[in-house]
Amino acid sequence: MRMFPKLKGPQRTAAQAGGVVILMGSLAWASVPFYDWFCRVTGFGGATNVVEANQNEVLDQTITVRFDASLEKDMPWEFKPAQREMEIRIGETGLAFYEAHNPFDVPIAGQAAYNVTPYEAGGFFDKIECFCFTEQVLQPGETVMMPVSFFVDPAIVDDREGKYVHTITLSYTFYQIDLPETFEQAALTTPAQDAIELN
């Protein structure tokens, strides 16, 4: 006894095509977090490590860290590094700042992604504090300074490729995201409404 009717040629082809679409969509959905995890673990693609504290020795050898900032298309903020570059000793904790400004008269939310070049340095660039992947909301006309605390792992000097790296560039790109519900509700409330509620 058949539980499902037998599909004819065109119907079978449509069902198979639908199954392929669902399978490919599922793989694409799963590949994003997997790729992010893979990059964080291996440093592939310039992904950095995130640590709670710097417990490394500090070497006499120095390295230059450059800072870059960009905005995704249609992101209306102004965004730039407070310093273009700094020279620090390998293993030493560095502190840099990025400046973000909302020039518009409405709140705007953003989130930053980052990468490190050259890619072989990604696994040795450790961040202690960072604003990336954290929701940021700037009020109308607001300017904020966002810190990045980091160090370069001394193991880089013993790495086959990393030992030839003398300059590392840390890049952040901000893109616009939806405002949190609390901010959306606050934006819908007018001063007149507030006065009515108070009375």
The residue type of 104 is F
pLDDT band for position 54 (50/70/90)? Answer: low
Please tell me the predicted confidence (pLDDT) of residue 14.
61
Q: What is the mean pLDDT of the chain?
A: 79
Domain formed by 46-183, architecture? Sandwich (2.60)
Q: Would you place residue 181 in the very low, low, confident or very high pLDDT band (cuts 50, 70, 90)?
A: confident
101: its two tokens:
């400004």
DSSP helix/strand/coil, 122: helix
- What does the domain layout of the chain look like in residue ranges? 9-42, 46-183
Average pLDDT over residues 44-48: 47
Other CB atoms within 10 Å distance of the CB of residue 99: 14
- Average pLDDT score over residue span 14-23: 58
183, two tokens = 């901010």
Pull the structure tokens for residue 56.
Answer: 């490394």
- Residue 167: the pLDDT is 98
Pick the more confident residue, 149 or 28: 149
Which of 20-29, 31-40, 58-67, 137-146 has the least mean pLDDT?
31-40
Note the pLDDT tens digit of each residue in 96-140. Answer: 999 999 999 999 999 999 999 999 999 999 999 999 888 999 999
Cβ–Cβ under 8 Å, residues 114 and 90: no
Distance, CA of 9 to CA of 194 (rounded, Å)? 65
**Cβ proximity of 98 and 69 under 8 Å:** yes
pTM beyond 0.85, yes or no: no
pLDDT band at 71 (very low <50, low <70, confident <90, very high): very high
The residue type at 73: K
pLDDT at 70 over 80: yes
